[in-house]
Structure 1
Amino acid sequence: MNSGDALRVIIILSDGIRGHVNQSRGVAYWLSRLTGAEILESEVPLLTGAAKARAKAASRVLAGGTRRDARDWLAASDGDALIRRVGQWFAERNVQEGAGSVLIISAGSTAAPYNIALGYIWRCACATVMTPSAIGTEPFDFAIVPEHDCPERKPNIFVTLGSPNYVIKERLKKEAQALLSEHPSAAREKWSILVGGDDANYSVTPQWVKRRLGQILNLAQHSGADIFITTSRRTSAAAEKVVRTLAQHSHAVKYLLVASEDEFNPIPAMLGFSTEVFCTEDSVNMVSETITGGHRAVLLRVDHKGGVKGLLQRATAALVNAGALPPSALWGIPKFDLVFDHFARNGSLVEYSDWMRLRRESAEPRGEGDGPAEEFNEAKRAAKWIYDNWK
């Protein structure tokens, strides 16, 4: 990093989606550790309906636009208050336009155009986590893109395995103690279950919850293990109801957080004391957080959405396996399976069926600290890359 243009301020733009915000926070945290930069955070306007569609279509001009284009787009996309807020932050810190001491970072597509537009106006560096759908990675100084998106190899792109996240291992024990003080457990084995939800490819149905979660709870009771469960915002109300019912009738369950009812994120605390962590396959984020926390993830396969879309995904995968198409052609479930295969080869992930077999064969259950020996922290790696390439 050029000492004359040292990074002083990191601005996180949030779209309100916890998984996206945690990816940005993770990179910002480690970059701040390297530079001492102050971290500030602001939500972008959350447009809906026709206004959202218009803003997305109009944002394409930002890919090769000017400061005037940026101002016009922000004015049309309810961004005036955001401009004033950032301007006030800069004035309070005596940050000059174009000083080379500010990085704006965001994750996902909603916040990306606000990121680039503010970068044009204040002449500061911009970073994106994931590939924004409308404007792509080209306008960004730094783009942190997962390997399963098969990004082009360009100087402004850093490729990650899975997702960067805000799991800080040195904090986990303290957070674990806080949670266990309210929900004590004397069991030798403590299992955490991270339940995701429905999206374009996967479905966590009430039937699946009753079958798979019920099986794990029965096994826990026979093994003397205590169970800690969290759902996600994508968990359907019907699936939540079954989770709650199962938890109420199982003596093994010591803790349940239903994400639709509570903003608290218990995952870091759960990672601080768990001997096993089960993750549903719909969330690469949860799997990545688990492995970053030093655990082997036990992957719970869920229901796959079928129809023509599922057939096309499988057909594409067959053509890729036959060498008729490049890996970048993969989409949907086969694309995410690449991530899980990579983790499995590194010993960081095991399929639930294999976990059951290994448990039957092992005389001793796993304990805390029995996760992968090699550190996995993509947020930390991405932050070091930005630091090394800061001009």
Structure 2
Amino acid sequence: MEKVLIISDGKPGHVNQARALCSIMGWECIEAVAEYRLKAFKAAGYLLDSVRLHSSLPFTLTFSSSGERAEAENMPAGITRIAAVSSGAYYPAKVLANRLGVEVIALMLPRGIRKSDFSHIFCPSYDNPPRAENITPVPITLCSRGESFYAQKAGEFTEKTGMKGPSASVIIGGENAYGRIEPEKIRGQLEKIFEKTPNLEHWLTTSRRTSRKVEKTAASFPFDYKLIFSESRYNPIPAFIGMSEYIFVTSDSSSMISECVSTGSAKVEVLKNEPKRKSKFDRFLAELQAEGCVHIFDGTLGDADRKINLEEKIRSVLED
């Protein structure tokens, strides 16, 4: 079994993409988090990359499991490649790969850094990536870790909560550069959800980006199960995906939406945030809507339950 080092910024939506890649390929993975010592050092790393210099001075790298510094000298034996995900991970991955003599796979689209050094890049098509032999556009971000993973999480959820479904599950994110969630708008959306799904259990989870005002609004509804992220860090989303008849998910997170349309049998309803400006998320949702993977919730229920399985495409590229 190949042993792969995952380098990320530690954000769940990013590291889960690399975990999904390793799951698809049957690779063992070890995880490390990259951090730049100062904000300006990130730009310095990109400058060093432009002249093909590899230096670890701008950043630190720590193993996720132990918190120990991750250096070429103390890497576990048998690392065969590196998977890098997030803008802060690409240059550190190149530096370490150069010292270990292994290749680097990038997830998402590296910007401001030379792309030709990566053995392969898997990035969302809505990022409009350039055409290159080592770039494969994909319609969603990598996320699914296989049916057995979701079945296991569903079983753990039922044991933990007593909930058995089927459910109408609500996943609420938060504000980003492109849109925001208004408490009164989410209140109206939740009222419609309860009205349209009277015979289902109702489950809720918020996320680390959900504002306290939105959390308070959502928590005021009579959910059979609710997780408020500011109070608990348990992640019920895999169970929601495996057990829901409908999933309602806010439009701010491509990784959350990607996970909802990659596995399970739920019909996926997108709760549109208040837009700040047109963005790549509009292209992302338009493509998924055209494929029958999502329905934009307008007070009525759709039947968008088509799932996208990236496993065959990923394997065909990496096993070629």
Instruction: Assess, with a 3 A threshold, how the Cα gap between structure 1 residues 29 and 192 changes in structure 2: closer, same or farther.
Output: same
Q: Give 1:67-216 correspondences, 5 Å limit.
A: 69-71=53-55, 74-79=56-61, 82-84=69-71, 86-90=72-76, 93=77, 95=78, 102-185=80-163, 189-216=166-193
Match of 2:258, as an amino acid?
A: S
Instruction: Assess, with a 3 A threshold, how the Cα gap between structure 1 residues 83 and 41 changes in structure 2: closer, same or farther.
Output: closer
Match of 2:227 in 1: 257
Match of 1:21, as an amino acid?
A: V
* Inter-partner Cα distance in structure 1 for 2:159 and 2:285: 34
The SS at the match of 2:143 is: coil
Question: How far has the Cα of 1:218 moved from its partner?
Answer: 4.0
The structure richer in strand per residue is: 2
Instruction: Assess, with a 3 A threshold, how the Cα gap between structure 1 residues 179 and 41 changes in structure 2: closer, same or farther.
Output: same
- 1:42 is aligned, of 32, 37, 40, to 32
Question: How far has the Cα of 1:190 moved from its partner?
Answer: 0.8
The SS at the match of 2:54 is: helix
- 1:54 is aligned, of 25, 41, 47, to 41
Higher mean C-alpha deviation, range 126-135 or range 22-31: 126-135
Contact 2:294–2:305 (CA under 8 A) maintained in structure 1:
no
Question: How far has the Cα of 1:357 moved from its partner?
Answer: 5.7
* Inter-partner Cα distance in structure 1 for 2:9 and 2:314: 21
* Inter-partner Cα distance in structure 2 for 1:258 and 1:12: 29
* Inter-partner Cα distance in structure 1 for 2:120 and 2:51: 16
Contact 2:44–2:58 (CA under 8 A) maintained in structure 1:
no
The structure richer in helix per residue is: 1
* Inter-partner Cα distance in structure 1 for 2:275 and 2:4: 39
Stretches of 4+ aligned residues off by more than 6 angstroms: none
Q: Structure 2-normalised TM-score?
A: 0.89
Instruction: Assess, with a 3 A threshold, how the Cα gap between structure 1 residues 258 and 186 changes in structure 2: closer, same or farther.
Output: closer
Instruction: Assess, with a 3 A threshold, how the Cα gap between structure 1 residues 381 and 256 changes in structure 2: closer, same or farther.
Output: farther
Match of 1:16 in 2: 10
Question: How far has the Cα of 1:79 moved from its partner?
Answer: 4.7
- 1:345 is aligned, of 279, 290, 310, to 290
Contact 1:162–1:288 (CA under 8 A) maintained in structure 2:
yes
The SS at the match of 1:275 is: strand
Contact 1:227–1:255 (CA under 8 A) maintained in structure 2:
yes
The SS at the match of 2:207 is: coil
Match of 2:65 in 1: none
Deviations 1:176-229 (A, max 9, x none): 122123323466x41111111100111012222222123323444xx2221111
* Inter-partner Cα distance in structure 1 for 2:219 and 2:154: 22
The SS at the match of 1:344 is: helix
Q: Unpaired segments of 5 or more residues in structure 2?
A: 63-67
Q: Unpaired segments of 5 or more residues in structure 1?
A: 1-6, 96-100, 314-331, 359-365
Deviations 1:64-101 (A, max 9, x none): 41xxx313xx12323597453x43234xx3x4xxxxx6
Match of 1:302 in 2: 273
Question: How far has the Cα of 1:384 moved from its partner?
Answer: 3.9
**1:385 and 2:317 correspond:** yes
Contact 2:250–2:273 (CA under 8 A) maintained in structure 1:
yes
Match of 1:41, as an amino acid?
A: E
**1:272 and 2:242 correspond:** yes
**What is the aligned length?**
314
Instruction: Assess, with a 3 A threshold, how the Cα gap between structure 1 residues 45 and 245 changes in structure 2: closer, same or farther.
Output: same
Question: How far has the Cα of 1:380 moved from its partner?
Answer: 5.7
Match of 2:28, as an amino acid?
A: E
Bigger Rg, which one: 1
Q: Of the two structures, which has the highest relative contact order with CA contacts closer than 8 Å and spacing of 6 or more?
A: 1
Question: How far has the Cα of 1:137 moved from its partner?
Answer: 2.6
Instruction: Assess, with a 3 A threshold, how the Cα gap between structure 1 residues 185 and 40 changes in structure 2: closer, same or farther.
Output: closer
Match of 2:271, as an amino acid?
A: L
Question: How far has the Cα of 1:379 moved from its partner?
Answer: 5.6
Match of 1:197, as an amino acid?
A: G
Question: How far has the Cα of 1:27 moved from its partner?
Answer: 0.7
Residue identity (%)? 23
Instruction: Assess, with a 3 A threshold, how the Cα gap between structure 1 residues 42 and 383 changes in structure 2: closer, same or farther.
Output: farther
* Inter-partner Cα distance in structure 1 for 2:4 and 2:237: 25
Contact 1:15–1:46 (CA under 8 A) maintained in structure 2:
no
Instruction: Assess, with a 3 A threshold, how the Cα gap between structure 1 residues 78 and 288 changes in structure 2: closer, same or farther.
Output: closer
Match of 1:371 in 2: 305
Q: Structure 1-normalised TM-score?
A: 0.73
